[in-house]
Amino acid sequence: MHHVYAHRGSSAAYAENTRAAYLQAIADGADGIECDVHLTRDGRIVCHHDQTVDRTSNASGRISSFTLQELRELDFASWKGREIPAAYGGLHDQLLTLGELVDLAATAGRSIGLAIEIKHPSEFGRGLEDAVLEELTALGWEATTSRIGDVTVSFMCFDAGSVRHLGRRVPAEVLCQLVTGENQKKVAGLAERGDELGARVAAVVYGSAREGVPAIEVGIAGLAGPGVAWVRRHEDTVRGWLDAGTGLRVWTVDEEADIRFLARLGVQEMTSNDPKHTRAVLDSLARA
């Protein structure tokens, strides 16, 4: 059985990491939803991808420079150019805290996965991971099962140090090491343009394979999270992981050719911007 995770929610339909995108993901029948988390200036965990709000809001600055209330006043949805149905909340209801997303996932009325991507580098260091676990524990998270009611929580990061840190408290089977190929030219290009923050983020992402692959192979992470392009370039390695019983959660899987390729390979989980489409293709393959 192949499971489909909604990448930042149904982000092909509505602005990523918003209430509307997550509610649409549940309506689309996604087996799980994926979010990215950061800490605000006042220590609240919010669902947002970038280190800054520049790309996805009507303001600029680092997430960590805003309080939660200040972020609530921003518009995180209009850039998508899609009207939000009233049932999905108002314009200033779209930013979610981690706790609010857990509550939203619980409304699915069925078992559902919640994949939390820890975003690094963070000014808060491993305090970000600790805050996430503290918040989840307050919500009723059980470390041994990694469940809160019908919600199964998993954790992901490109930073192998984060994965090792989480591994002290999180079962390996719900711990995902994200992996992509090296791209030192991109890191250097960002640095040359004066984008120091972008370069540091890119260094984490594009350096993930060096320590991340060993973390997968020694079992610190029971889930491997490579990008689909990485899988195509390292198919033998991925087949070896699958043969060893490692779970695969591959991103970002929207194209039919990729869906078919990964299904034939035996990949168990696919993360998609359009989970309804990805599920439809998988269902058609199952009927064939």
Q: pLDDT tens digit string along 198-254? A: 999 999 999 999 999 999 999 999 999 999 999 999 999 999 999 999 999 999 999
Return the number of other C-beta atoms located less than 10 Å from residue 43's C-beta. 12
CA 160, CA 157: separation in Å to the nearest integer? 7
Integer Cα distance of 192 and 214 in angstroms: 31
188-219 burial, b at 16+ Cβ within 10 Å, e below that, comes to eebeeeeeeebbebbbbbbbbbebbbebbbee
Reference 23, options 35, 10, 39; nearest CA is 10
Q: How confident is the model at residue 1 (pLDDT cuts 50, 70, 90)?
A: confident
The yes-or-no verdict on residue 60 having pLDDT over 90 is yes
Beta bridge partners of 5: 32, 271
pLDDT over threshold 90, residue 25: yes
Query: Tokens for 105?
Result: 């996932």
Q: Which of 2, 7, 48, 277 is catalytic?
A: 7
Mean pLDDT for 88-111 is: 98
For range 256-279, the mean pLDDT: 98
End-to-end Cα separation, the chain, in angstroms = 15
Q: Let me know if 49 is a catalytic residue.
A: yes
Choosing from 2, 49, 120, 165, the catalytic residue is: 49
Question: What percent of the chain shows pLDDT beyond 90?
Answer: 99
Q: How far apart are CA 238 and CA 34, in angstroms?
A: 22
pLDDT recorded at residue 152: 98
Query: Is 92 marked active-site?
Result: no
Of 108, 104, 114, which Cα lies nearest the Cα of 36?
A: 114
Distance CA 93, CA 86 (A): 11
Give the residues across from 34 on adjacent strands. 7, 115
User: Six-digit token pair at 72?
Assistant: 């609530």
**Separation of CA 163 from chain center:** 14
Residue 288 has pLDDT above 90, yes or no: no
pLDDT for 185 beyond 90 = yes
How far is the C-alpha of 32 from the C-alpha of 4, rounded, in Å? 6
Confidence of residue 96 (pLDDT cuts 50, 70, 90): very high
Q: d(Cα 263, Cα 256) in Å, to the nearest integer?
A: 10
Share of the chain above pLDDT 70, in %: 100
Over the chain, what is the mean pLDDT?
A: 98
The enclosing H or E element of 279 equals: helix 275-287
Go through the domains of the chain in sequence order and give each one's CATH number: 3-287 (3.20.20.190)
